[in-house]
């Protein structure tokens, strides 16, 4: 077993120990097909949680987005995001804040994502753009719309991450073991000639609906 695989297993095991990392699938089974997952964003743990909640065979083809300037800064961070998570690096460039998916004018920040999608990989994106503090997700930025436009046949799976803001709130370093879950919902598809705002609102509503599923 390679070092990266072993480290990945260890990380997944740790994530399970701390949070349980339960994945619930409503409306779409965990199939090994190309998908774009989009979820609410509340803590740094979010990606690890989704990753641990996915079945192991899906993990190798599902890639997160990582800001290039931050995650290639040290060799360790670079190794973790490249080898274990197989991240797609985006340059933040002139966009401020955490996400490169801001702005609806140019495709340049999205180019690595489009390349990954052309390659057949699945992606996980957080359309809010930044970590939210309140319970409800913020209005979605337009990156999701552009990706859906470029690849209309790839199903978009909404996901709701529950409870994770209690595990490691902003400013804390050590996580508290609390059970978290990821609920994956029914796939969305961009309707032909659908308005961007309408689509983003529909996507956001899908994520919120998963949150109130009890």
Partner 1 sequence: MGALRVLSVTQQVGLLFVVLFGLLAAVSLFAFTRTLRDLDEAGRDAQERLRRDLRAVWIGALLFWVAWAAGGVLSTLLFGAVSFLALREFVTLTHTRRADHRSLLLAFFVVLPLQYVLVGSRAFDLFTVFVPVYTFLTIPVVSAFGNDPQRFLERTAKIQWGIMVCVYGMSHAPALLLLDLPGDTGRGAFLVLYLVLVVVVAQIAQALASRRLRRRPVARAISRSFSWRAWFVGAASAAVVGAALYWSTPFKPVAALLMGFVAGGSGTLGEFVMTALKRDAGVRSWGSKASLTGAVGLLDRVAPLCFAAPVFFHAVRWYFGR
Point out which residues bind partner 1 (CB under 8 A): 20, 22, 24, 162-163, 166, 169, 172, 174, 176-181, 183, 213-214
Q: Considering the complex, state which of residue 39 and residue 123 has its C-beta at the smaller distance from partner 1.
A: 39
Is 51 in contact with 10 (CB distance < 8 Å)? no
d(CA 164, CA 177): 10
The tokens of 70 are what? Answer: 């931050």
Smallest distance from the beta carbon of 20 to partner 1, in angstroms?
5
Q: What is the residue-wise DSSP string for 163-207?
A: SHHHHS-TT--SPP----EEEE---B-PPTT--HHHHHHHHHHHH
Q: Considering the complex, state which of residue 24 and residue 131 has its C-beta at the smaller distance from partner 1.
A: 24
Q: Considering the complex, state which of residue 24 and residue 196 has its C-beta at the smaller distance from partner 1.
A: 24
Smallest distance from the beta carbon of 68 to partner 1, in angstroms?
31
Smallest distance from the beta carbon of 174 to partner 1, in angstroms?
6
d(CA 108, CA 102): 11
Smallest distance from the beta carbon of 180 to partner 1, in angstroms?
7
Q: Considering the complex, state which of residue 20 and residue 155 has its C-beta at the smaller distance from partner 1.
A: 20
d(CA 206, CA 200): 10
């Amino acid at each position: 077993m390679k070092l990266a695989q072993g480290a990945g297993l260890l990380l997944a095991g740790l994530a399970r120990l701390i949070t349980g990392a339960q994945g619930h699938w409503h409306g779409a089974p965990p199939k090994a097909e190309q998908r774009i997952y989009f979820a609410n964003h509340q803590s740094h743990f979010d990606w690890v949680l989704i990753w641990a909640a996915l079945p192991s065979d899906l993990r190798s083809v599902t890639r997160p987005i990582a800001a290039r300037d931050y995650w290639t800064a040290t060799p360790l961070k670079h190794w973790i995001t490249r080898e274990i998570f197989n991240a797609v690096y985006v340059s933040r460039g002139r966009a401020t804040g955490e996400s490169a998916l801001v702005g609806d004018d140019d495709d340049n920040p999205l180019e690595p994502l489009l390349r990954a999608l052309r390659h057949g990989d699945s992606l996980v994106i957080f359309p809010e753009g930044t970590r939210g503090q309140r319970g409800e997700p913020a209005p979605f930025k337009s990156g999701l719309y552009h990706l859906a436009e470029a690849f209309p046949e790839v199903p978009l799976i909404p996901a709701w991450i529950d409870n994770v803001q209690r595990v490691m709130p902003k400013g804390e370093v050590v996580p508290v073991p609390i059970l978290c879950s990821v609920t994956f919902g029914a796939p969305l598809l961009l309707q032909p000639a659908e308005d961007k705002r309408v689509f983003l609102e529909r996507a956001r509503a899908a994520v919120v609906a998963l949150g109130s599923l009890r």
